[in-house]
C-alpha cells in the first residue's frame, strides 16, 4: 500500500517485501524498541513513505528477526539498508515499453551523460564529436536526468556503460564500437540504417 511503512515480522515476510515488483527501491530500517532514536527514525520513515510512493519502506525489529539481522551483519540500531528491486519501479513490462519508446524516439538515439550542447563526461564528449562530423541527424537523452532509465537501460540492452548509440531501435554500441566503425568507414552506412 502506497504511503505506508510495512513491518516485517519474519524472514519470510522480509523476503516477500523485497520482491515487490511495483517498487524500484526498498529501504529497510532495522530498529529496536529500547532505542529512542529508532522511534524518531520511524517517524521520519513514515513521512518519507508519504512522499515517495515508488519506494517501499520496511521496518524490521532487529532482535525479533535475528536470522535477517545476522545475514546482513546488523550490529547496531538504527541501521538502514537499501535494496534495489530488479523488477523496475514501473512494473517490468511498462518500464520496458518506456525504454523502447525512448530508444525509438528518433532513428538515431544517443544515450549519454549530458546533451548535444554540453557533454558531462569525456566519453560522451568524444562520441558527440564523431556524431557531429557525420552530418547525420540524431537525438540525445541525458541519463543523468533519469536514474531509472540510466540503470534500466544497462540491463535492457545488456551493455553496462555509457554512452550507448541506437539506430532504428537497435543497439550499435558504445564509444569504442563507434570509433571502430568510423575507422572502418562503416559508421555512416550504419547510422543511415544501410547495414
Write down the mean pLDDT value for the chain. Answer: 88
> What angle (nearest 5°) sits at the alpha carbon of residue 131, between those of residues 98 and 159?
45
More confident position, 4 or 146: 146
The pLDDT, as a whole number, for residue 186 is 95
Encode pLDDT of 130-156 as tens digits.
Answer: 999 999 999 999 999 988 888 888 888
- Evaluate if residue 2 carries a pLDDT over 70: no
- Evaluate if residue 54 carries a pLDDT over 50: yes
The pLDDT, as a whole number, for residue 1 is 45
The pLDDT, as a whole number, for residue 62 is 95
Could you tell me the domains of the chain? 5-84 (3.40.30.10), 92-191 (3.40.30.10)
Ramachandran bin of 81, using left for φ above 0, alpha for ψ from -120 to 50, beta for the remaining angles = beta
Encode pLDDT of 26-49 as tens digits.
Answer: 899 999 999 999 999 999 999 998
Euclidean distance between CA atoms 191 and 165, whole angstroms: 10
Whole-number percent of the chain with pLDDT over 90: 64
The pLDDT, as a whole number, for residue 86 is 57
The pLDDT, as a whole number, for residue 15 is 85
Confidence of residue 89 (pLDDT cuts 50, 70, 90): very low
Q: Which residues pair with 139 in a beta bridge?
A: 109
- Specify which of 4-18, 19-33, 175-189 reaches the highest per-range mean pLDDT: 175-189
The pLDDT, as a whole number, for residue 80 is 93
- Evaluate if residue 22 carries a pLDDT over 90: no
List the grid coordinates of 156: 535492457
Q: Within 10 Å of residue 100's Cβ, how many Cβ atoms? A: 12
CA 107 to chain centre: 24
Q: pTM above 0.95?
A: no
Amino acid at each position: 500500500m502506497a504511503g505506508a511503512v510495512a513491518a516485517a515480522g519474519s524472514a519470510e515476510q522480509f523476503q516477500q517485501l523485497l520482491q515487490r515488483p511495483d517498487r524500484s527501491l526498498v529501504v529497510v530500517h532495522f530498529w529496536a524498541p529500547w532505542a529512542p532514536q529508532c522511534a524518531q527514525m520511524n517517524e521520519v520513515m513514515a513521512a518519507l513513505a508519504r512522499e515517495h510512493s515508488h519506494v517501499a519502506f520496511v521496518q524490521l525489529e532487529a532482535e525479533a528477526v535475528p536470522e535477517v539481522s545476522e545475514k546482513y551483519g546488523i550490529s547496531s540500531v538504527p541501521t538502514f539498508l537499501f535494496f534495489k528491486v530488479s523488477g523496475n519501479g514501473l512494473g517490468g513490462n511498462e518500464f520496458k515499453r518506456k525504454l523502447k519508446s525512448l530508444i525509438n524516439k528518433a532513428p538515431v538515439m544517443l544515450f549519454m551523460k549530458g546533451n548535444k550542447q554540453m557533454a558531462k563526461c569525456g566519453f560522451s564528449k568524444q562520441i558527440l564529436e564523431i556524431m557531429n562530423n557525420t552530418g547525420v541527424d540524431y537525438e540525445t537523452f541525458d541519463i543523468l536526468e533519469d536514474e531509472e532509465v540510466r540503470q534500466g537501460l544497462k540491463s535492457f540492452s545488456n551493455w553496462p556503460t555509457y554512452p550507448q548509440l541506437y539506430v532504428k531501435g537497435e543497439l550499435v554500441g558504445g564509444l569504442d564500437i563507434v570509433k571502430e566503425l568510423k575507422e572502418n568507414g562503416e559508421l555512416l552506412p550504419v547510422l543511415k540504417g544501410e547495414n
